[in-house]
Amino acid sequence: MEKLSSRYSNKKPAIESKVLQGDLADQTNALAKEHKADCVVMGTKGATGLKEVLIGSNAVKLMSSLKLPMYAVPAEHEYKAINEVLVAYDGQEPFEDSCKPISTFAKRHHLPITFFHVMTKDGKAVDNWDKIQELFSDLHTELVEIEADEFEEGLEQITDDREALLVLIRHKKSFWERLFNISDSRKALMHAKLPVLVIPE
């Protein structure tokens, strides 16, 4: 952290380093509140196999409890210019508050938005696309529907050879759903090769 701070000491915004003891999510939420942060940024290494099911990565734990938007950048990601916003959409009713950060980012960087929906064998097609278009009426939007056996397979198809910001909406879940269900957002965060923006519902 000291090396990072000194390397960018003349840059804006200013970089400050802190070492805190305690639970990652609790400390991050407290620090974000203290500094009135707009978002949280962290690097990820991913998780596979048993670790994915039982434990999950630090990024996933933080995603599950963070009250702010979170940017997660995979360790192996090589910086390239982002040319679109890629939003994972599960077909649920769109929430306006969740849409605002997506719209703001796209407008600020003059980017089109591609919504993608992975249809597994138990899934169904999106039937409320008109509502999405209404919420993003002043931006160029597109819907891509992908048929795949698993969400990860569809995610790999849509993200392959794209330079994009991947956006995930974190839906609220009950205790038992959190305990026994690895949601699509968690899977995407663990396996993503693109920078990810996670937006809490």
* pLDDT tens string 12-40: 667 777 888 888 888 888 998 998 998 88
Check the CA dihedral 165-26-177-101 and report its sign: negative
pLDDT over threshold 70, residue 107: yes
Q: Please check whether residue 42 is in contact with residue 70, taking contact to mean a CB–CB distance below 8 angstroms.
A: yes
For the chain, the structural domain boundaries read 1-37, 40-200
Bridge partners of 71, per DSSP, are: 41, 197
Q: What is the DSSP letter of 10?
A: T
Quick: pLDDT tens for 38-95.
888 888 775 555 444 444 567 777 777 778 888 888 777 777 789 999 998 887 776 6
The 3-state DSSP class for residue 31 equals helix
Architecture of domain 40-200: 3-Layer(aba) Sandwich (3.40)
Q: Given this model, what pLDDT does residue 141 score? A: 94
Tokens of 16: 């400050």
